[in-house]
Amino acid sequence: MALGLSIRDDPGFLRLTRDEALGALERIAVLVLIAGLIVVDIFSLFSPGVNLLATILSIATTATFALYLWWPWAATAVLAVLFALSFTVNTQFNVIFAAAVAIGLVIRLGRTVLVLSYGALFLVAVAVIAYTDGGSTVNVGTYLILAAVAGAIGFALRLTSARGHRLEEQLAIQAEQEREAVLAERRWIAGELHDSIAHHLTIVALHVQMLDDPQTSRGSQEAIRIAARKAMTDLRFVIELADDAPGTSAVQTGDLAEAIAEAHAEIETAGHSVKTDGDPRDARLPRVAEIVLARIMRESATNVLKHAGPGPVRIDLDVDDESAVLAIRSPLPATPRRDLPSSRTGLNRMAERVLGASGEFSAGAVDGQWCVSAKVPIG
């Protein structure tokens, strides 16, 4: 993500449409400078022949700069009062000098209304100085130049601050996006492991219970061996995808025909008769539909192995020019099985996959059978 800020990117800062605040280091620097100037004025009180009122007014003018850090409007009002009082002790040049410097703080901190108001008052004050001083254009020009320099510095600091705020916001957004990406990847890995590894573990758990039967022992051993091998293959596949490994593309994951054939064999091995109908290699099936339906077939086979009661299982695939419908029907058990592991997330995962492909999904008991139906558009 490109990070940066230009004048065109955020014209709101040029229009000064909101109040700003100094950073911690800026605030400390200003307060230290103000404190130093006040200490100098205080020490000057002990000098012989010092004008007490003039010194007090100078201290008050310097202290007004600290007021700008919190209440720019109040500081401007105080500064205007001090300027009016300065004529009584003939220190108006000192106050107008301070007012010229304060323009930098006004532009750095204030919004448009304050900046324009302050600018108008400053020009009036300069005009009053020029008039009462017999039209001394040299002094007037000096104050105007000083005000322009201070204003430019304040504006540059404001843009720098704005750029920093925007950068912080973009970094925060980027960090949140990265966090969401990590969480999404973790959820994806967990889902892939559930869809693949859980299926094979179900087969293993089922056939472990059949090892003691001499008639099914050899077949169960072979089924366990095949399930373990497939689990390792799927586990490597998930790890390669998570690592974005170059060899990932060589692993086949969405072969619907293979998924139906595997489910047929696994369900038959578990003691159910299976009848399949439909052509999983239909040329009209797009890759997306094939991947989704292959996942549905695998998860449904897992559920059949876990929960189906005695009786035949049907796998029907109906493909036309608009959609592909995969339906799996299995007999409901007389009593629920509790001896096989179940995460209870399979149906949600299947629904998410189908709905994510703009399809329709349903699952439930119908006439003593558990029916799963997934319809995916292909048009």
Report pLDDT for 246: 41
276 pLDDT more than 90: yes
Dihedral sign of CA atoms 338, 341, 343, 347 in order: negative
Tell me the C-alpha distance between 338 and 341, whole Å: 8
Better-predicted residue by pLDDT, 292 or 15: 292
Among 187-191, 282-286, 293-297, name the most confident range.
293-297
Report pLDDT for 193: 67
| Weakest-pLDDT range from 34-48, 74-88, 109-123, 252-266 | 34-48
Q: Which residue in 224, 221, 220 sits closest to 271, CA to CA?
A: 220
Amino acid at 310: P
pLDDT band at 194 (very low <50, low <70, confident <90, very high): low
259 pLDDT more than 50: yes
**What is the average pLDDT across 39-55?**
75
Report pLDDT for 24: 73
Report pLDDT for 277: 93
**What is the average pLDDT across 135-153?**
76
pLDDT (tens digit per residue) in 307-328:
888 899 999 999 988 889 999 9
Report pLDDT for 233: 65
Tell me the C-alpha distance between 226 and 207, whole Å: 11
Tell me the C-alpha distance between 295 and 259, whole Å: 8
364 pLDDT more than 80: yes
**What is the average pLDDT across 271-300?**
87
Order of strands across the sheet with 313-319? 274-277, 313-319, 323-331, 369-377, 360-366
Report pLDDT for 4: 41
154 pLDDT more than 70: yes
| Weakest-pLDDT range from 1-5, 259-263, 304-308, 348-352 | 1-5
